[in-house]
Chain A
Amino acid sequence: MDKAEKNIGWFVILMTFLIMIWGTVDLTHKRTVTLRVGVYAGSYWDSPNGDCYRILDQAIKRFESEHEGVKVEYVSGIGSADYSEWLTEQILMDREPDVYFVLPEDFDLLVTSGALAPLDHLILLDGSFDTEAYYEPCLSAGRRGGIQYALPQESVPTIMFVNKTLLSRAGIDMPAADWTWNDCLNICQQVTERIPEAYSTYDYSWNDALYANNASLFSERGDSCSLTDSNIRDAIRFISRLEEMNHGRIVTSRDFDLGNVVFRPFLYSEYRMYQPFPWRVKKYTNFEWDGLPMPAGPDGDNVSVLQTMLMGMSSRADHPELAWEFLKLLCYDREIQLDLYKYSRGISPIAEIAENSGIVELLQKDIPGTTEFDAEVIHRIMTSAVEVHRFPGYDRALMMAENGVREEAENDSSRGDGLLSLQREINEFLSENK
């Protein structure tokens, strides 16, 4: 045996040894599998939520009892504002949780960077899982390029806040759930005429309105902007007409709090937070209020913008099957979803739960008088809602558009089409951003 052969021999022995150590470590590892969950504290939807870990703890308890030898861990105390940074930090250090919450604005980055594992094959192989159970807009929030990367855990649509006291003072009835832009304009016109200190709307921009007119500001892939579409022009015109009624006065949140504003878009989570007693009285002491679906534009429907909290699993998860089971437990299990619906501020993405009449009644029991939010309205909102695709650079492009449109409105728009050059500018930014 010559020296080189001896070396190879040693090499093989060393490798075998290493593999044996690795195997042993792996075996002992298997005895107690640890599943890590990434979770944020509080509520993402700007509404206090004291029981943030309660449902999760319940789910973990159940999961651990169903899966022997599995331990589920999570780090508590990460606020939703710090969650994105915390999660990306974990990814950078290669120790991200196996299953984690995905904030709507992070979804795109986590998909394109490959941090999230595609779920399609797991969905396909899992006979107990049916995507039909979800509202399509909620499910599609976790989809990119036709591939499902995350499951919806909770959704929050934007709805319209209505100051009922102002309406009754002006002698106007609550509009129906299928009201339109014209209804909105008429109501505001009448209220502002009859009550001098009243303002039409607060915080209602053309960007909030355009989805109800079957329009979309940016393309699906986030590479172009369609600011000059007639549907968007209609939305801009609609909003400027509403603002004209305020006679140049900039409406502030104080005006709103004082009960001088008729309409304001707000999140369904806030509605759920403040509508029940005693919050209802504490928040807005001197007026009655309620929610409505968003008004429909001439070419659209009562479409809300939907924000969906997603959950996905890491593409580097050590135990993808277990991670999938846990993901399913949090996002698909009826019991957990029912609990979530009770204790959180959003709407369950599962139709069966969201429209569960028992729960809807439970939610409505504190609201005085009649409310529009019955199961049917929830169904209509949730099935027609749209998810805004927040691609990288979305915030910047939106800011450019909003600033541009505002400038356009302030200047005299008679000197040519300013929107066209603005659109060109934004498209330029988007193509550079790609």
Chain B
Amino acid sequence: MGTEKRVLDTSMLMLAVNFAVILFYGIICPVTTFRICRSLQAYEFLSAAGTIPQNPLMVPLGALTQFALLTAVSLRKQTDENGVPRNAGFVCFAEIILCIGIIWSLNFYYTGIALLVLADLVNYIRDNKVRVLLLVILVFIFAFGRYEVISAQTGKVAFSVYLSFYDAKIQGYLSAIESVLVSANILLFVYYMVLLFNGESAEKERIRSLYDQLKKANSELERMTEIRERNRLAREIHDTLGHTLTGIIMASEASLALFDRQPEEARKRLEAVAGAARDGLSDVRQSIRALRPDTLEKHTLQQALEEMIKKFEAATSVKVDFRQEAGDLYFASDEEDALYRIVQECLTNAVRHGHADAICVTIRQQESALLIDIRDNGRGSADIKEGFGLRHMRERLDLLSGSVTYGNRKDDPGDGQEGFYVIASLPVRSIKGGN
């Protein structure tokens, strides 16, 4: 981001300006001292200074060493992936201590280093309370660390005393350099803060808009989930209850027809009806609980299909020819669900709409697809309308990247007989051998 780079550039510039200031004082103090000693003005200097100066070389050595440490701490400090500072306490403490150390080494001539540290820490620490605390501490150091303010306590030599040993022209140049550097640091600091807080408010604005979008998307998603869940529920009810109830109706009608002639047979059928009703109830319960077919819960897909077909035959006395030619079937549970429901739906449809009495269910593998071919001998459909069942079948298969084709067997060139056919195709994800 542009602002971030500009903030970084400004802080680097501040670092450079502060280095220049330290170099300035670090050169002037020892060089002037040597000059004074060479021109035999030491006595005059001590009289003017009124206090013994520290070792002249300690000004550059002390200040530059501490400045190097400060730079190292500043450049190597890190934040974790969430932008939270690491070792924040250590970094703040170290930088403030080094800041005071540098000011002390520079005989309190220059406190602008506090602004450098403040700029650095304000960008690093995002907690506003800590920021205010740092601001108070460092601005205090900046304002009251000046030689003019605490000269009485420091026992340091005023910088003006050093300058007074040059002639007026050089004094002018040196003062100009000093004030340009000091003002540059302050200006850079102000610019830095403006950049930083502008950048931060822009970022806050961006975050707020993203948050709004997220909220909208979230409510949309909730609505979608609700609709999808409702659809799924409808499908489940259709699949389980519809199938079972069709079977029950068919079987009970047959029982009614047989009731007078073959009461024994009718009783058997009714028992089957009762069984189917119980299974249906269990299915409904299961659906409510897990929305999964009960038989699949307990058995493999093949067993579940065989079970379902057996029950169907028993309930409807329709002859179902089940051919499993795809070897052992192992699918993910969503695929198993889909296969099971498709077969179930087709059987129900064949009886309900086609009034078939013989159905052929073939499962075979063709290249990388599993084909479920269901053909009945019913009357087919003159005007094929995709009802709830077929639509759900398609939806289920779509979810699994599969497809479905259906139509009258007459229209299928390889068949030509009476009846209806459905071919569901499902890409094979895993068919494991074994068992």
Q: Which A residues form the contact surface with B (CB < 8 A)?
A: 2-5, 7-8, 84-85, 88-89, 91-94, 109, 112-115, 315-316, 392
B76 at the binding interface (Cβ < 8 Å): yes
Q: Is B86 positioned at the interface, with any CB of A under 8 Å from its CB?
A: yes
* In contact, A88 and B87 (Cβ under 8 angstroms): no
9-residue interface stretch from B34-42, B188-196, B304-312, B366-374:
B34-42
Stretch of B53-61, B200-208, B397-405 with 4 or more beta carbons under 8 angstroms from chain A: B53-61
Give the CA-CA distance A89 to B37 in the complex, in Å. 6
Q: In this complex, which of A88, A91, A115, A316 has the most chain B Cβ atoms within 10 angstroms of its Cβ?
A: A88
Given A4-B90, A114-B155, A89-B42 contact (CB < 8 Å): yes
With beta carbons under 8 angstroms apart, the residue of B33, B52, B78 that contacts A4 is B78
Q: Return B191 CB to nearest CB of chain A, in Å.
A: 29
- B37 CB to closest chain A CB (Å) equals 5
Q: Is the CB of B47 within 8 A of A92?
A: no
Q: Does any Cβ of A come within 8 Å of B299's Cβ?
A: no
Given A92-B33, A92-B53, A94-B54, residue A109 in contact with residue B47 (CB < 8 A): yes
Question: Could you jot down 22 A-B contacts, CB within 8 Å?
Answer: A2-B78, A3-B78, A3-B86, A4-B90, A84-B43, A85-B42, A88-B42, A88-B43, A88-B46, A89-B37, A89-B42, A91-B46, A93-B55, A93-B56, A94-B53, A94-B55, A94-B58, A109-B43, A109-B46, A114-B51, A315-B52, A392-B47
Q: Interface readout for B358-379 with A: 1 if CB under 8 Å, 0 if not?
A: 0000000000000000000000
| Residue pair A113, B78 in contact (C-beta under 8 Å) | no
Q: What chain B residues lie within 8 Å of A5 (beta carbons)?
A: 87
Chain B residue with minimal CB distance to A115?
A: B52
Check if B250 is an interface residue, CB within 8 A of chain A: no
**Which 7 residue pairs spanning A and B have beta carbons closest together?**
A94-B55, A88-B42, A89-B42, A4-B87, A88-B46, A88-B43, A89-B37
Q: How far is the CA of A154 from the CA of B68 in the complex (A)?
A: 52
> Which of B42, B55, B56 has the most chain A CB atoms closer than 10 A to its own CB?
B42
**Contact A92:B45 (CB < 8 A) given known A5-B87, A113-B51, A114-B52:** yes
Tell me, rounded to whole Å, the shortest Cβ–Cβ distance linking A172 to chain B. 47
| Bound: A34/B165 CA distance, A | 34
**Nearest B residue to A315 by beta-carbon distance?**
B52
A85 x B43 contact (CB < 8 A): yes
On chain B, the residues within 8 Å of A2 by CB distance are 78, 86
| Shortest Cβ gap from A106 to chain B (Å) | 8
A315 to B51, CA, bound (A): 12
User: A92 is contacted by which of B37, B50, B155 (Cβ under 8 Å)?
Assistant: B37
Told that A88-B45, A92-B46, A392-B47 touch, could you supply 20 new A-B pairs with CB distance under 8 A?
A: A2-B78, A2-B86, A3-B76, A3-B78, A4-B76, A4-B77, A8-B87, A84-B43, A85-B40, A88-B43, A91-B53, A92-B37, A92-B42, A92-B56, A93-B37, A94-B53, A94-B58, A109-B43, A113-B50, A114-B155
CA distance A29 to B42 in the complex (A): 30
Determine the distance from Cα of A4 to Cα of B86 in the docked complex, in whole angstroms.
Answer: 7
- Is B49's beta carbon under 8 Å from chain A? yes
A91: which B residues are within 8 A, CB to CB?
42, 46, 52-53
Q: A89 CA to B36 CA in the complex, in Å?
A: 8
Chain B contacts for A113, CB-based, 8 A: 46, 49-52
Minimum CB distance partner of A5 in chain B = B87
Which residues of B are found within 8 Å of A94, using beta-carbon distances? Answer: 53-56, 58
CA A191 to CA B54, docked complex, whole Å? 60
In angstroms, Cα B53 to Cα A177, docked, is 49
Question: Which residues from A are CB-within-8-Å of B50?
Answer: 112-113
Q: Interface size for chain B: under 10, 10 to 19, 20 to 34, or 35 or more residues?
A: 20 to 34
Residue of B nearest to A86 (CB): B42
Task: With CB as the reference atom, state the residue of chain A lying closest to B87.
Answer: A4
Specify the chain B residue showing the minimal Cβ separation from A96: B52
| Chain A: minimal CB distance from B48 (Å) | 10
**Inter-chain contacts of A114 with B (CB < 8 A):** 51-52, 155
B residues 54-98 touching A (CB-CB < 8 Å)? 54-56, 58, 76-78, 86-87, 90
Task: List, in ascending order, chain A residues with CB within 8 A of B77's CB.
Answer: 4
**Which residues of the partner chain B approach A85 to less than 8 Å between Cβ atoms?**
40, 42-43
A4→B77 CA distance, assembly (Å): 7
Q: Which partner residue on chain B sits nearest A8 by CB separation?
A: B90
Query: Please, which residues of chain B bring their CB within 8 A of the CB of A115?
Result: 46, 52
CB A89 to nearest CB in B, in angstroms, measures 4
Q: Within the assembled complex, what's the spacing in Å between the Cα atoms of A115 and B42?
A: 14
Residues in B with CB closer than 8 Å to A315 are 52
A7–B76 touching, CB < 8 Å: yes
Q: Are A93 and B33 in contact (CB under 8 A)?
A: yes
B33: chain A residues at CB < 8 Å are: 92-93
Closest chain-A Cβ to B367's Cβ sits at a distance in Å of 54
A115 to B37, CA, bound (A): 17
Closest to B49 in A: A113
Q: For B155, list chain A residues within 8 Å (CB).
A: 114
Complex contacts, B55 vs chain A, CB 8 Å: 93-94
B residues less than 8 Å from A8 (CB atoms): 87, 90
CB distance from B86 to the nearest CB of A (A): 5
Residue of B nearest to A2 (CB): B86
CA distance A433 to B49 in the complex (A): 13
Which partner residue on chain A sits nearest B91 by CB separation? A4
What distance in Å separates the Cβ of A157 from its nearest Cβ neighbour in chain B?
A: 27
Task: Tell me the nearest residue of chain B to A112, going by C-beta.
Answer: B50
